[in-house]
Structure 1
């Protein structure tokens, strides 16, 4: 089945973002994929024989200035950081809440058919854990936005895959994931470590065609 869908990806150089872009480039339903990035993407970063990909370097501090790029069918938001990388809670919240929330607002303004973003298993606006609280607050903020069509969040647990940056907890998870998964049946299954490719595929499935 073919189509003429267009997509916008934010966070294309992260672990899930890379997997997602590769998935979209192979999907015959998409004819154009635009990636908003902080810095130029190396030519060999993605295999794009059909010339679907258009990377655009932007200033994320001024996302509103790039509203026109949100005039697509589907927006995929893979933006996210860690407290350690951000340096403090305020900087973390700016990326994981404010940037993503603005993206949802821009998608709504352009009447996109679907908006999917990455949250976290255990996200809860009332959590004592700062990370999970921010994720939960973002879910509440986006899901309560009027006229935002087909908004959906994926809630992965520990992400598995090769990162450019070192994240000790995730590296440890690479080794223990096969064993951990065996002891997490039923309701505990959602806490199993999950590969970035699986998360990317789930994001695509959540979009409406």
Structure 2
């Protein structure tokens, strides 16, 4: 059986992913590094596999030992509005994820999968997409981390604890988007969190 670790377990995709992992009999333990205690009501853990660990993400390197698992899933991410500044956004969406990849490499973990974004490009004029692209470049060029993969979703569909305007609009107009976005535009269709989570699982090295 495999062991997994999830960073960003309380976000839309992270929460969905953890619940899927807890039901998957291929996993014996699912460790979640979190900022504060998890709400048990958000997770179904019939086999007692969930292992939440409250940490200080500003000192993520101090928790290297937890990365000694088979699969690392990184669902960390925020928005400029939530972060409050570009530097705070970059700290979460670039620095934390990059450090997680480094710790994965240090522990010789089987594989590392993280959430990027459709349109990620280190040369983009859009700050959000530029940071995502810079992160992809930094991780994919990292030596001795051969099994790393980025998942690139568009707008996410699912029930969030907080409101995000664009995603709220996407929820209501998803059927129309699917009809209009064909061919090359298909990758920009809104996608359900459960589909992103399952995609992350298929990208792991089994």
Q: TM-score range by the shorter chain?
A: over 0.9
What SS does the corresponding residue of 2:154 show, helix, strand or coil?
coil
Once the 2 structures are TM-superposed, how far is the Cα of residue 149 of structure 1 from its aligned partner? 2.9
Once the 2 structures are TM-superposed, how far is the Cα of residue 185 of structure 1 from its aligned partner? 1.3
Q: What CA deviation, in whole Å up to 9, does each residue of 1:44-63 have, x standing for no partner?
A: 22110100000000000000
CA RMSD of aligned residues (A): 0.6
Once the 2 structures are TM-superposed, how far is the Cα of residue 163 of structure 1 from its aligned partner? 0.4
Q: What CA deviation, in whole Å up to 9, does each residue of 1:113-168 have, x standing for no partner?
A: 11000000000000000000000000000000001131000000000111001111
Contact 1:112 1:149 survives alignment (8 Å)? no
> Counterpart of 1:103?
100
Counterpart pick for 2:118 among 118, 121, 127 = 121
Name the CA distance, whole Å, in 2 between partners of 1:49 and 1:183. Answer: 41
Counterpart pick for 1:73 among 63, 70, 73 = 70
Q: What CA deviation, in whole Å up to 9, does each residue of 1:33-79 have, x standing for no partner?
A: 00000000122221101000000000000001000000000000000
Gaps of 5+ in 1: none
> Counterpart of 1:56?
53
Counterpart pick for 1:8 among 5, 9, 20 = 5
| TM-score, normalised by the number of residues in structure 2 | 0.99
> Counterpart of 2:199?
202
Name the CA distance, whole Å, in 2 between partners of 1:121 and 1:43. Answer: 32
Instruction: Provide the aligned length of Structure 1 versus Structure 2.
Output: 206
In the alignment, structure 1 residue 149 sits paired with structure 2 residue 158? no
Q: What CA deviation, in whole Å up to 9, does each residue of 1:63-118 have, x standing for no partner?
A: 01000000000000000000000000000000000000000000000001110000
Name the CA distance, whole Å, in 1 between partners of 2:99 and 2:82. Answer: 21
> Counterpart of 1:158?
155
Once the 2 structures are TM-superposed, how far is the Cα of residue 208 of structure 1 from its aligned partner? 1.3
Name the CA distance, whole Å, in 1 between partners of 2:197 and 2:71. Answer: 14
Name the CA distance, whole Å, in 2 between partners of 1:43 and 1:145. Answer: 36
Which moves more between the two structures, 89-98 or 23-32?
A: 23-32
| TM-score, normalised by the number of residues in structure 1 | 0.97
